[in-house]
Amino acid sequence: MTALLDALLLGAGYNAALVAIGASLLGFAAGASGTFLFLRKRALVSDAVAHATLPGVGLAFIAMVALGGDGRNLVGLLAGSAVTAVIGLLAVEWITARTRLAEDSAIGAVLSVFFGIGIVLLTVIQSMAQGRQAGLEGFLLGSTAGMLFQDAVVIAVGGSLAVAATYVLRRPMTLVAFDAEYARAAGVNVRHMDLAMMGLVTAVTVIGLKLVGLVLIVAMLIIPAVTARFWSERSEHVVWSAGLVGAVSGYTGAALSASAPALPTGPIIVLVCAGLFVFSLFFAPARGVLAAMLRFWRFQRRVHLRQGLLALARAEPIHDAFTLRVLRQKGLIRADGVATEAGRAQAAKTARDEHRWAIAREVHQDTALTGRYDGLTPIEAVFTRDEIAEFDRRIGGPTMVASGGPG
């Protein structure tokens, strides 16, 4: 626990602090930019882009060695990965536009072909004298043990530029993500916005290779956006919340890895992100599983309450145990099943509301209005007191306008 606290407070050493800061910056950039890909329902494209970076890493290493270098310069390797990532992205776009193949088929083809080429190149590099200690396999799952200050600067600068581009383009990209046809009619160049989204994803993928690797960077692009979606209905809130989730995941995962040196940084970051997703899945207040279960339980109680009140009004026996329990908890029946005074009054109002709704459907032919009746919505929430009094006049008998229905 002490080691983890030291790592969280950046006291676990220079390299650990460097990795934690770099991982948080990368996580924020990945979460924010990946949100638009998620909203556009093109999450699989990030997978194709990530796998398309591997041939570029291999080709860049071979080129730098051929030019007399050692082939390990991070900027050169990332530049090579960016080139093949863009080629892979353009290949997906071309196949989708020029053939009858669906986008997912094009993604599968590009992903497998480019990844296969990359593995072949890595095998060739391992047979080279300079390649035996190259450590390029770290680009598959990430490698932070040898991260240098200039590596962190590259990640920080690239991540900051990606976040800045996301902020500038957030409105047109949001419009395209939700309704491409409306965006086109409003004068937005949909193709350019799609390419901008893909460009941001490519940039984040490339700068994230050193930390989490090409296999796991896809998780950092998608999971924070999915997690943030549980907590908000507003797209702008989702974008920056996803960035926050990614930053927290990156920082916490790097700290956990530093506190237990046997744990790999990239996978731990993704697992922390997945933990936040699972927490949100169950505990988000509006869209979480527990919230949905609570809403269903409340709805079920309201249905049983209404059915029980109608049965009391019609002097019908109630056999359902749950209905009896709800009525007893509300103080509408006694322990022996006999209605209390409050129960009789509420039952009479519920029965009368049924008659009121029947009259309302005759008076108002507007289905948008009368169609709101679901047996649970109080009639006072739809019609005015004067309208309800008119319904009572048509029904006959004394006018009774109460303050609410069964709840």
Question: Which of 229, 263, 284 lies at the terminal end of a domain, its last residue?
Answer: 284
pLDDT at 141: 66
Look at residue 30 and tell me if it is in a domain: yes
Shared-domain flag, residues 42 and 136: yes
Asked if residue 63 and residue 27 are part of one domain, the reply reads yes
Residue 239 domain-assigned (yes or no)? yes
What SS3 state is found at 366? coil
Q: Which of 217, 205, 193, 213 is nearest to 84 (CA)?
A: 205
DSSP H/E element including 358:
helix 341-363
User: Of 284, 303, 334, which residue sits at a domain end?
Assistant: 284
Residues 302 and 219 both lie in one domain: no
User: How far are the Cα atoms of 334, 349, 405 from residue 344, in angstroms, in the given order?
Assistant: 12, 9, 13
Report the 3 state secondary structure along 197-255. HHHHHHHHHHHHCCCCHHHHHHHHHHHHHHHHHCCCCCHHHHHHHHHHHHHHHHHHHHH
pTM (predicted TM-score)? 0.78
Same domain, 240 and 301: no
In a domain, 404, yes or no: no
Q: In terms of domains, do 317 and 390 share one?
A: yes
Tokens of 322: 């749950």
| Alpha-carbon span 206 to 76, nearest angstrom | 11
pLDDT values of the chain reduced to their tens digit, one per residue, 407 residues: 677 777 677 776 777 788 888 888 889 999 999 999 898 888 788 888 888 888 998 899 889 888 887 777 778 888 898 899 899 988 988 898 888 888 888 888 888 999 899 889 888 888 876 655 556 766 766 666 666 677 778 788 888 888 899 999 999 999 998 888 999 998 999 888 888 888 888 888 888 877 777 777 888 999 999 999 999 988 889 999 999 999 999 999 888 888 877 778 888 889 999 999 999 999 998 889 999 999 999 999 999 999 999 999 988 889 899 999 999 999 999 988 889 999 999 999 888 888 888 888 777 776 666 566 666 778 888 888 888 888 888 887 554 544 445 55
168 belongs to a structural domain? yes
Cα angle: 343, vertex 349, 351; to 5 degrees: 100
Domain that holds residue 85: 2-284
Q: 145 and 235 in one domain?
A: yes
Residues 118 and 132 in one domain: yes
Q: Is 250 inside any structural domain?
A: yes
H-run or E-run covering 400: none
Separation of alpha carbons 381 and 377, rounded Å: 7
In a domain, 402, yes or no: no
Kindly state whether residues 61 and 143 are assigned to the same domain. yes
Question: What per-residue confidence (pLDDT) applies to 3?
Answer: 73
Q: Which of 267, 284, 301 is the last residue of a domain?
A: 284
- Start-to-end Cα distance in the chain: 49
Lookup: tokens for 46: 């990030």
Contact 400, 352 (CB under 8 A): yes
| Same domain for 386 and 336 | yes
Domain tally, the chain:
2
59 and 35 part of one domain? yes
Alpha-carbon separation of residue 278 from 39, 224, 228, 293 (angstroms) = 20, 11, 12, 16
Residues 257 and 338 both lie in one domain: no
Backbone angles phi, psi at 202, to 5 degrees: -60, -45
Q: pLDDT at position 125, please?
A: 84
Instruction: Give the DSSP per-residue string, 163-201.
Output: HHHHHHHHHHHHHHHH-HHHHHHTT--HHHHHHHHHHHH
Q: Are 254 and 294 members of one domain? A: no
